[in-house]
Structure 1
Amino acid sequence: MYSTDTRSLVRKHIFIALKGKTNGHKFLAQALQLGSIAFLSEKKQQINNIIVVKNTLIAMIYTASNFIKQSINQRIAITGSNGKSCVKSLVFLILKNCSSIESVFAIPKNYNNYIGFSKSIYSISHKKKQAIFELGMNHTGEIKTLSTILNPTIASITSIGNAHSKNFSKYLDIIKAKMELFDSLPNKCIEIVNINSNTIKSRCKNNTNCKIFTFGKLPWVDIQYMHLNKLFIVIFQNKFSKINFPLNNIHIFENSINALSISLSIGIDFALASKCLEYALPIPGRIFPIFLYNNIIILDDSYNSSPESIRVGIKTLTFINAKRHILILGPIAESQPNYMKSIIESIQHSNIHISIFFNISLKNISSKIYSLNRVIWANNISTLARILPLLLKKKDVILLKGSRKYHIERVAYYLSKLYKQKY
C-alpha cells in the first residue's frame, strides 16, 4: 500500500513524497532504509523503483480514485451538518450483519482534505465490496472534489445547518457547499432524500438517470416513519416495523431512518435491517448516555457544537422522561457573532428547567436570555464543580453541549466520579 510519512511507514509500502509544511522528498533515503519497495517523486533520484511525476499530490489522488472505482462496487457518500458519523456507523452496522463484515469498509473518520481521504482509500482491502465514506467540509468546493475522487453510487445529505458558519458569509453558501454532493453525482446513482427537509428536497438533483429514494413522515415516500407515544414505527412497501431505542432517543431514530434508506436502496432485507438498528450503540461524545446513581443521566454531546446541533440536542433532551431537563452549554468554536440568539429561542420553546452557560462571553448573549426559566453562569470548570452537587436531584437528565476544543467533556468525567457511574 501507500505511505506519505516515514514515521508511520510500513515495510513494502510505496512511499509518496508530498510537498507541504515538510518536503517529503527529503525523506526518500530514509523511506528506502525503512523498507519501501517503490517511490513516487517529483524529482529524479538515484534510487531504484522510483516513478517521477509532475505533481505527487495529483498523482496520489488520481490513483486513489481509480483504485476505488475499479475495486469497490458500492460507494456510499454521507455528508451534512449533523449526524454524519451516526448514519455512517448505523449503515456499517446493518451491512456487516446483513451481508458480511468481511465485505464492508467504513472510513474511520470524516476527511475534508484530499490527502487523508486518499490515504483512507488506499487502506481498503481488496476483499471489500462496499465502502461507506463520511465527507466533511470547511470551505466551498471541498465536497465536490471529494465526491469526484470517490465517484459515489449512493449519496445522502443528513441535514444542512449553520455548522462552519465562520467560513461562509451567508447560510445560502453553506447550502450550496453541502449540495455539491448531489450536484456532482454521476448518472445511475442513488440519491437518498430527506423529504422533511425543504432545503434538501427542493435542491436534489433533477436527473432522470439517477434514482431518488425518499424518506420522511409523508405517506407517499419510500420509507415513512412516525413516533407515537415514544413508539418508533417504520413503514416500507406496506410492511411496518417497531424499533426500540434506549432512552427513546429521537436523534438516533431519525438518523436510523437515513441509514435504513441507504441499506434498503441497495437491496438489504427490511426486517433484518430494522432489527439490526436495535443493537446500535451510541457514539462517545455524540449524545452519549452516561447513567449515574439517583437515576441521573448525562447526555454527553461534547464532540462538536453548532446552533443546528444544539437544537438537535435540545430536542433529544426534552424527548426523554425526566424530573427536570438541564442544559449545560459551553462555547461554540465556529459560529457567527449572534449565534446565541437562535439558541436561546430554541431553549424558550423547549421544556428545559435550568440552563447553565459555561465559559460563554457575555457579549454573545441575547437579551432574550432573561425570558428563560432559570439561568446559571459558570466561568470555568471549578465554578461548575461547586454548583452541580448543590443543584442536581434524582431523575435529572443533563445535556452537556459544547465544542471539544474547550474540553467540556471533563464535566461528564467529574459528574461520573461524583455520582459513581452505574454502568
Structure 2
Amino acid sequence: MIQKTLKQLAEIIKIDNDISKFQQTMISGICIDSRKLEKGNLFVPLKGENVDGHKFVEAAIKNGAAAALWQKDMPNPPLHLPLLIVEDTLLAIQQLARSYRKQLNIKVIGITGSNGKTTTKDMTAHLLSLKYKVQKTEGNYNNHLGLPLTILQLREDTEFAVLEMGMNHPGEIDFLTKLALPDAVVITNIGESHLENLGSRAGIAAAKLEIMNGLQDNGLVVYYGDELLLKEYFDQYYGNAVVKTFGREKSNDLFPNDMEQGEKGNYFSINKQEGNFYLPVLGIHNVLNALAAMQVAHHFHIPFAIMNEGFAHLKLTGMRMELVKGAKGEKIINDAYNASPTSMKAAFELIESMKGYKRKIVVLGDILELGTETEAYHEAIGNLLDPDQIDYVFTYGKLGEKIADGAKKSFPANRLFSFLEKEVLITELKARTTGDEIILVKASRAMKLEQVVDALTK
C-alpha cells in the first residue's frame, strides 16, 4: 500500500497550508471510513449526501490515523493536527493513485463488460495466482472512487492487479483506464445495462471500448468474439495490441467443445487443451467468463493444463449465482447482486437445466437503467418464462409487475404472483415451499432481493 511522508504527498498533490511541523510524518495506506481505520492510515474525509467525513477527522487521528486530508471549502480545519488542506479530497485520492500506479512495477489487468465482469475478475485473479502474487478489486470497488482506492492498497511486491472497471456514462471508463494503465484488458460482453444513459447497445459498446484508451503498448485485448459490435470494431483495429477472442462460436481463438451443467458447477472442454475442466460455479454462461480468464492467464504463461487447480479454489464475490440452502432444505440461487435482460435469460436457462427438484420457482424484481423501452424489456422477460419448466413466478416492484404481465400469456393465475411489498412476498413464498424446490432470486441491486434469500434461510 502507499507509504509516503507528508512532504512526499505534498509533492504529488497541491496543498494550501504549512506542513513543515509534520512533514516527516509517515502515512501507510488510505482510509475513507473511520470505522475501518488502521494505525498509520491517511484518513480522507469525503462529503456525502448524508454524512460528511470531516466530522470524524479529529477522532480518526486520535484513534491511530497518522494524518488526514481536509477539503478547502470546509470551515474550521484543526490545524494543530497533521493535516493536508486540498482543493478537493476525491480529486486528491485520484491524483495519489495515478502517481502510485506509475511507481509500481506491476502488471494490471482491466476488466469491463455489461455482465460478468466481477465473476471474470475473480476467475482471472485465481488463475494468475497459480504463479504470481495477485491482488484484485474487492467487492464492487470499480468506479471513480473505488478503483483509485484499490490501487492505493496494492502492495509493492504485488505482481498482478486485476481491476474491475464499471460505468454509467460515456467517459467514465476512459478516466479509469488512463488512471490504471492496464497491460491487458477484457471486455466480457455488451448487454442492455445503462441504456438509459447510453441510448443504444452501440453506445454501450463505445463506452466499454474506452478501456482501450489506457492500454499499454503491445498489451493484450481479450473480447467476446460472438458480439458483432465488438467484432466490427476490432476488424478495423490496426494498433499494436495482441487481440484474442473467446466465445461459443468456433471462429474464436478459444471456445468450448462441450459444456455440461452439474449440480453445483459446470464441466467443459476447450479447443486448446485435451481433457475436461470443472468450474464450481452455476450457469453455463459462466463458462464464457472462465474462457476470458483463461485467455489472460495463458498469455501470462499459465498453462491450460494446470488451470483446474485454480478453478478448484475459486471463491466468487457474493450474490452471484451463489447456491444457498434454505431453512426447509430448499436450494436457492442467490443472484441478487444485479440484473439485465441478458443475465435474466441466462439465469432462466440455468434453472431450467437443473435436475432433481420437484418444483422450480423464480423470484424476479425490477431491472433498472434500461431507458425508454424499460417496460417492453420487462414484458419480454416475462415472455421467456416457460410454464412447462417453471412452477411458480413471483415478482417484486413496479417493473416486476410488467414481468408478470409478460408471463400472464402462458402462466395460469394460480402460479403467478406479483407484489409491491417484500414482506408479503416472503410470507406467500414461504407458504409454498416444502424443501424440494430450487428457487432463483434475481433483480437489480437496488431492489435488495437478498432480503428474500435471508428470510428463506431462517
Give the TM bin, normalised by the shorter chain: 0.7 to 0.9
- Tell me the alpha carbon deviations over residues 6-61 of structure 1, each in whole angstroms, 9 at most, x when there is no partner: 82554433455767768878877766656655666676996697767666544432
Q: Say if 1:194 and 1:248 are closer, same or farther in 2 by CA, change over 3 A.
A: same
Instruction: Give me the TM-score of the superposition, normalised by structure 2.
Output: 0.77
Q: Of 173, 195, 211, which aligns to 2:225?
A: 195
Looking at structure 1, the residues matched to 70 and 259 of structure 2 have their Cα atoms a distance apart, in angstroms, of 61
Looking at structure 2, the residues matched to 228 and 11 of structure 1 have their Cα atoms a distance apart, in angstroms, of 49
Q: Say if 1:51 and 1:328 are closer, same or farther in 2 by CA, change over 3 A.
A: closer
Amino acid corresponding to residue 150 of structure 1 in structure 2: A
- Tell me the alpha carbon deviations over residues 155-205 of structure 1, each in whole angstroms, 9 at most, x when there is no partner: 111122122333333333222212211344232110012212222222247
Match of residue 67 from structure 1: 100
Q: Please say which of residues 312-321 and 138-147 is displaced more in the overlay.
A: 312-321
Q: Do the aligned partners of 1:247 and 1:320 also contact (CA within 8 Å) in 2?
A: no
Match of residue 40 from structure 2: 12
Please say if 1:95 is aligned against 2:135.
no
Q: Do the aligned partners of 2:110 and 2:182 also contact (CA within 8 Å) in 1?
A: yes
Q: Please say which of residues 221-230 and 65-74 is displaced more in the overlay.
A: 221-230
Looking at structure 2, the residues matched to 294 and 318 of structure 1 have their Cα atoms a distance apart, in angstroms, of 21
Secondary structure (helix, strand or coil) at the match of 2:385 reads helix
Match of residue 355 from structure 1: 393
Secondary structure (helix, strand or coil) at the match of 2:439 reads strand
Looking at structure 2, the residues matched to 16 and 281 of structure 1 have their Cα atoms a distance apart, in angstroms, of 31
Q: Say if 1:292 and 1:246 are closer, same or farther in 2 by CA, change over 3 A.
A: farther
- Tell me the alpha carbon deviations over residues 279-305 of structure 1, each in whole angstroms, 9 at most, x when there is no partner: 434543111112458874221111122
Q: Say if 1:46 and 1:232 are closer, same or farther in 2 by CA, change over 3 A.
A: closer
Looking at structure 1, the residues matched to 78 and 325 of structure 2 have their Cα atoms a distance apart, in angstroms, of 60
Q: Say if 1:245 and 1:365 are closer, same or farther in 2 by CA, change over 3 A.
A: closer
Structure 2: 5+ residue stretches without partners: 1-27
Instruction: Give me the TM-score of the superposition, normalised by structure 1.
Output: 0.83
Amino acid corresponding to residue 12 of structure 1 in structure 2: G
Secondary structure (helix, strand or coil) at the match of 1:111 reads coil
Looking at structure 1, the residues matched to 82 and 315 of structure 2 have their Cα atoms a distance apart, in angstroms, of 46
Amino acid corresponding to residue 378 of structure 2 in structure 1: M
Q: Of 184, 189, 194, which aligns to 1:164?
A: 194
Please say if 1:114 is aligned against 2:144.
yes
Looking at structure 2, the residues matched to 394 and 33 of structure 1 have their Cα atoms a distance apart, in angstroms, of 52
Amino acid corresponding to residue 85 of structure 1 in structure 2: T
Please say if 1:76 is aligned against 2:109.
yes
Please say if 1:271 is aligned against 2:268.
no
> What is the RMSD of the two structures over their aligned residues, measured on CA atoms?
3.5
Secondary structure (helix, strand or coil) at the match of 1:290 reads strand
Match of residue 311 from structure 1: 345
Structure 1: 5+ residue stretches without partners: 418-423
Q: Please say which of residues 387-396 and 406-415 is displaced more in the overlay.
A: 387-396
- Tell me the alpha carbon deviations over residues 81-129 of structure 1, each in whole angstroms, 9 at most, x when there is no partner: 1111111111222222x124xx211111233543332222111111211
Amino acid corresponding to residue 382 of structure 2 in structure 1: I
Looking at structure 1, the residues matched to 183 and 227 of structure 2 have their Cα atoms a distance apart, in angstroms, of 22
Q: Say if 1:33 and 1:242 are closer, same or farther in 2 by CA, change over 3 A.
A: same
Q: Of 211, 229, 237, which aligns to 1:181?
A: 211
Q: Say if 1:114 and 1:191 are closer, same or farther in 2 by CA, change over 3 A.
A: same
Q: Say if 1:108 and 1:127 are closer, same or farther in 2 by CA, change over 3 A.
A: same
Aligned length: 413
Q: Say if 1:296 and 1:363 are closer, same or farther in 2 by CA, change over 3 A.
A: closer
Identity of aligned residues (%): 25
Amino acid corresponding to residue 106 of structure 2 in structure 1: N
